[in-house]
Chains A and B, each alone.
Chain A
Amino acid sequence: MFSLKSNNVTFVSNNLHYNTLSSSIGIGCATEIVETTGPVGCLDTGQFISHKGTTIGSSLGNGHIENWGESVMADNSQQTDTSTDIDTDDKNQTHGVQHGTLVVVDSMDQSKAKAGDQKVLRRLAQNREAARKSRLRKKVMLPLLAYVQQLENSRLRLSQLEQELQRARQQGIFITTGLSGDHGHSATGNGKDFIILLQALHHVSNGKKDIHSYELSVLTATFVDLCFKCGIYDLDGYVKMFRLNTYCIKDILHKGRVLHRTGLNLARSEQHKFAAEINDVGFIRRWLMSDRICKYRRKDVGEPMDINLDNIGSSWALAFDMDYARWLDEHQRLISDLRSAVNSHMGDNELRLLVDGVMAHYDELFQLKSIGTKADVFHMLSGMWKTPAERCFMWLGGFRSSELLKILGNHLEPLTDQQLMGICNLQQSSQQAEDALSQGMEALQQSLVDTLSSASLGPSGTGNVADYMGQMAIAMGKLATLENFLHQADLLRQQTLQQMHRILTTRQAARALLVINDYTSRLRALSSLWLARPRE
């Protein structure tokens, strides 16, 4: 679970680096959180927290951050309810009390001091100093505590998700909201049916127990869900259906295994095809509606209900989010290796290996996004898998290449003339490409508006249904081009990174990657701080 380090903290008295700390507090305090659950979530507050032991704060060159972080964490662990403390004012001096070594502030004492008494004067000064520190601490600590609270909630949520996924893996079911919906039949029979059904599925897929692939889980859940909604409940029916159409299920399960096993090495065209197939639950629906299956439908259920396809999108979205979180985790690890290599003045050859490793890892991200775009383009566009600040400055599902180059700006010096020209050209061409794609998107939006607002869709009584359907079909076609735009934008990002890698020397490229990572880390930290800020 989520455990905080609780050390004995010797704090405050010899640590007066408030100014530097307050500006980088968000990053610093994160470093000492030790978590025992799986990968980092891509949730709002959790994103820049790396795995065990990484000190992100060290990139800002302030080692004292760790002490600060520890004290805050230890502080939090000893308070059962931070929220009430946050609201009270000077009563927060209890913070000091819990750490034996923290300076206690009691500004009420000031009234007892008598002027002219040396000892009293000194004590007054001490008290004032302590009061100042306490106020500063409050100003910084409260948002931190709130932030930590939120982190804890996020951690819990993440571990819940992981548990759910684990359970789903064991049962082969992805627990979506649709399954527990209003089927109008007794819930007790279903559990057993599910398990037996899944055993049948396993049998169908040649006894392979290793169905980790979430695509399979989603497919299974969708399939079963659709069965339910078509009024097919009885076990015999399931098994018979499977036997009848094993080739179809087997085919998809096989592809699912292939996709999972080879992971991202599957040819892109194959990935697209598979993703498209999984998404095309129309074929499942058509099959379920077919005459062969009819006789397995229970007669007393009546007409099959409308099939709800909402689950599928959200399942994909969740799956992508988790994959992205894992990618980010790995990315941070690679970056920290790179950072220590640069700081330790490693030789060029070894450094090149590390740099190439990071670049290859970026390629994996683009593969991931490619699959995600095919599966759920709106989720990718929404950027819900990023933190709020990142999302705000997002462009077409990701970062702006030209912006990245501007950020790199002066960090790449010294550059040869040829390199300088290369970088300038790269910035200009990426800017032009971005503008072109943006204008294309605007045209898309405009044409969608035109389609949806055409006269035939009006509320007039002579509304033509065929017309409506026609316009909707056109609109659907236009939405499909969204995927293409997102895909092109990702290609642009990938190519910009690769070109940059080509132009720069190994050492410059390493520095560039570190700078990029620092920037995005700070953006993520900003999100967390913003979310955790105390509200009036």
Chain B
Amino acid sequence: MHYQAESWGSYFPARAVGGDPLERIERLASENAVVIFSVSSCCMCHAIKRLFCGMGVNPTVYELDEDPRGKETEKALMRLLGSSSAVPVVFIGGKLVGAMDRVMASHINGTLVPLLKEAGALWL
């Protein structure tokens, strides 16, 4: 067992902890209608949370600085978004919407609300 752990060094830890970060992100994102990855001290994250709350949506927020696997999740998000800042990131209905600029753009051009309704996060 011990020998196996050493020779499979690069694989074992991932499996032991439960999947590569990207998979984990996808899994978390599909568990709820609106999922926001955030950092508790980030003010832009605060703004995006206020935006959803103001619309009457109750998002599921994962604070990456309070997450033991936060660092790798952040790195994975950075790669996913292709930008230097990992948070905030919004997933609606399991699908990636994007950072603040994308969310705001879709809200202004009227596509955000239908998306939310489709995901069951908004009624009426």
**Residues on A close to B: CB < 8 A?**
422, 425-426, 429-430, 432-433, 435-437, 439-441, 443-444, 447, 478, 481, 484-485, 487-488, 491-492, 495-496, 498-499, 502
Contact = CB atoms under 8 A, between A and B. Distances in A.
A436 B110 contact: no
Contacts of B51: 432-433, 435-436
A488 B100 contact: yes
Interface string B32-62: 0000000001111011101100110000000
Given A429-B108, A496-B108, 11 more contacts: A422-B110, A426-B110, A429-B110, A432-B107, A436-B47, A436-B48, A443-B43, A478-B43, A484-B44, A491-B104, A495-B104
B109 interface: yes
A444 B112 CA distance: 26
A488 B46 CA distance: 14
- Of A443, A447, A502, chain B has the most CB atoms within 10 Å of the CB of A443
Contact of A488 (B41, B101, B113): B101
A439 B108 contact: no
A492 B43 CA distance: 17
Given A444-B43, A447-B41, A435 B50 contact: yes
A140 to B, nearest CB: 44
A14 B51 CA distance: 60
A439 B100 CA distance: 14
Given A443-B46, A499-B108, A432 B55 contact: yes
Contact of A432 (B43, B54, B100): B54
Interface of B: 41-44, 46-48, 50-51, 54-55, 100-101, 104-105, 107-110, 112-113
A139 to B, nearest CB: 46
Main secondary structure, interface of B, reads: helix
Contacts of A499: 108-110
A495 B54 contact: no
A461 B112 CA distance: 55
A484 B43 CA distance: 10
Contacts of A487: 101
Contact of A433 (B104, B110, B113): B104
Nearest to B102: A491
Given A429-B108, A429-B110, A496-B108, A440 B101 contact: no
Contacts of A429: 107-108, 110, 112-113
B107 A447 contact: no
Nearest to B47: A440
Contacts of B105: 491, 495
A426 B100 CA distance: 18
Contacts of B110: 422, 425-426, 429, 499
A432 B55 CA distance: 7
Given A432-B51, A435-B50, A488-B101, A440 B44 contact: yes
A430 B108 contact: yes
Given A439-B50, A443-B47, A433 B101 contact: no
Given A425-B110, A432-B51, A436-B50, A485 B44 contact: yes
Contacts of B113: 425, 429
Contact of B104 (A443, A484, A492): A492
The 3 A-B residue pairs with the shortest CB-CB distance in the complex, in nearest-first order: A440-B47, A436-B51, A444-B43
A445 B44 CA distance: 12
Nearest to A445: B43
Contacts of B100: 484, 488
Given A435-B50, A436-B48, A488 B104 contact: yes
B43 A440 contact: yes
A487 B85 CA distance: 14
Given A432-B55, A435-B50, A440-B50, A481 B43 contact: yes
Nearest to A440: B47
A367 B46 CA distance: 26
A437 B47 CA distance: 5
Nearest to A502: B109
Nearest to B48: A436
Contacts of B54: 432, 435-436
A485 B46 CA distance: 12
Contacts of A437: 47
Contacts of A484: 44, 100
B44 A495 contact: no
Indicate the member of B47, B101, B104 with the most A CB atoms within 10 Å: B47
A439 B43 CA distance: 9
A495 B109 contact: yes
A1 to B, nearest CB: 46
Contacts of B112: 429
Nearest to A487: B101
10 contacts: A425-B110, A429-B110, A432-B107, A433-B107, A439-B50, A447-B43, A492-B104, A498-B109, A499-B108, A499-B110
Contacts of A422: 110
Nearest to B49: A436
Nearest to A436: B51
A491 B104 CA distance: 9
A255 to B, nearest CB: 20
A496 B43 CA distance: 23
A432 to B, nearest CB: 5
A491 B100 CA distance: 10
A513 to B, nearest CB: 18
A439 B46 CA distance: 8
Contacts of B46: 439-440, 443
Contacts of B41: 447
A426 B108 contact: yes
